[in-house]
Chain A
Amino acid sequence: GAGVSQSPSNKVTEKGKDVELRCDPISGHTALYWYRQSLGQGLEFLIYFQGNSAPDKSGLPSDRFSAERTGGSVSTLTIQRTQQEDSAVYLCASSSRGFMAEAFFGQGTRLTVV
């Protein structure tokens, strides 16, 4: 596709349920990021994938959060046993290799836990 695609755009879930958020990066991009943005707030880093290297998971807030990237392309962020404080916009970004490379962002998934 032409840009980073995230699905679903919006997700409402009940507290305690598991959710999966999907990110399709730009074809050929080796780096993929997940960020969380609470209402009107800044970007909170969650996890970073770069090629075949071990992902940087240092931003995951708890063991309820996990992410994988299959075949170096599509990524799924999973939140288990969702809590109300998990409500936020989850942004995915990808970039090509190279330090000057800008990150291209998807439109995000707005997650609401009720």
Chain B
Amino acid sequence: GNSVTQMEGPVTLSEEAFLTINCTYTATGYPSLFWYVQYPGEGLQLLLKATKADDKGSNKGFEATYRKETTSFHLEKGSVQVSDSAVYFCALSSSGNTGKLIFGQGTTLQVKP
């Protein structure tokens, strides 16, 4: 079945450090891929998405590239801020599916000043 695997957290970085959160997936067909973020005390919100191979999603300085050959969608940011501290979820929505999202387990990012 379809699944998403994220790197274990928590990830602790100093402000202005480079961030990578790894995400790999298993899916039939051609899924769309998403990164959702959950800030403390808030609901999940879409950070970025990519709908086909080699697409790059980007938002708020975050980027992720849809790599079909490695079935990956790693999240990157060149310089993190304290305000980026949150839980990040990688997810997929399979083609031909009802649209439901399958999530990874989440990765907690803590950025220290």
Real binding pair: no
